[in-house]
Amino acid sequence: MKKSARKSLAGLPVPLFLLVFLLTSAPRALSQQPAPKTAATATQTGQGTRVTETAVDASIPDDPPVDKMLAVYSPKVHELEVVIGRLKGELKKSGAGSGSLGNFVTDGMRWQASVKTGKPVTVALMNGGGMRRNSIGEGELKARDIFELLPFENALITVDLTGEQLTKLLQMIVAGREAQAGARITYKINADKTSEMESARLRDAGGEKVIDPNARYTIVTIDYLYRVGGRYGILQQGENMKELGITLRDALMNYVKSETAAGRDIKPNLDGRFVFDKANSAATEEVKP
């Protein structure tokens, strides 16, 4: 197997390439061990069957079909190592709204939806379970970081909600400890350790404003949450659902690239979008997930 191809598969985060990784790394690891003097040995089993053992080492020639398969995937693997931005500080998935990592993802969703629709998007919603890394360390931000964080093929959609429906959505976000961008939510912790929204105001470049129950607001989320129903069923009560034709993963990479092009690093953003009301809570500190 070609040495460059083997190296490109090290630490591969995409499940699609797992088989390729195993095919290439296992023989390489075995080749580190001293090869026996005899390349093949025959053993007689208790059932009278002859079994031949062959040492797997560098003496085994390359397999052209496997090399051909790797030639197709190698460029895609190299793309994962492309640096798309720089992270100044560590992103962490913790606390209400999945912490700075949840803020990063929903900020990117809201930005991309506004670009796609050509109009302001009020709120972005993302479930914490869809983010598959707990942290991203400071330094170069690579495509592989986004793939590892968001491995699913979820796509962005927008839907219009009334102010009343949006308030219910924000209540669900607090109760489910989901991530959001576009609102400042004050909440408390009850005696049973559940989180409950006390108040919410919308935030944009012009400041904060109350939610008009009769107005209509555009929100962005992923197609999975829209279709799964359950506690997210309020989304299906909205109108004008539109698919934006872009995956969440690509949207976030576009967001990072846009910030980089503007000369800005990605920074942990704990901007007070979730405010813990300690005085009215049964708990003295925020409950850890």
Predicted confidence (pLDDT) per residue in 62-76, tens digit: 888 887 776 776 666
Distance, CA of 133 to CA of 13 (rounded, Å)? 11
Is 42 a residue whose pLDDT tops 60?
no
Rg of the Cα trace of the chain?
A: 25
CB 258 within 8 A of CB 169: no
Task: Choose the weakest-confidence range: 48-52, 178-182, 198-202, 273-277.
Answer: 48-52
Q: Give me the pLDDT at residue 287, please.
A: 58
- Percent above pLDDT 70 for the chain: 80
The torsion angles phi and psi of 141, rounded to 5 degrees, stand at -105, 115
- Residue 29 — pLDDT band, cuts 50, 70, 90? very low
- Residue 286 — pLDDT band, cuts 50, 70, 90? confident
Is 209 a residue whose pLDDT tops 50?
yes
- Percent above pLDDT 90 for the chain: 67
Distance, CA of 287 to CA of 189 (rounded, Å)? 8
Is 89 a residue whose pLDDT tops 70?
yes
Is 12 a residue whose pLDDT tops 90?
no
Distance, CA of 129 to CA of 195 (rounded, Å)? 17
CA 268-274-277 angle, 5° bins: 135
Average pLDDT over residues 269-288: 87
Longest C-alpha distance within the chain, in Å? Answer: 84
| pTM attached to this predicted model | 0.76
- Residue 283 — pLDDT band, cuts 50, 70, 90? confident
Q: Give me the pLDDT at residue 288, please.
A: 55
Average pLDDT over residues 86-108: 95
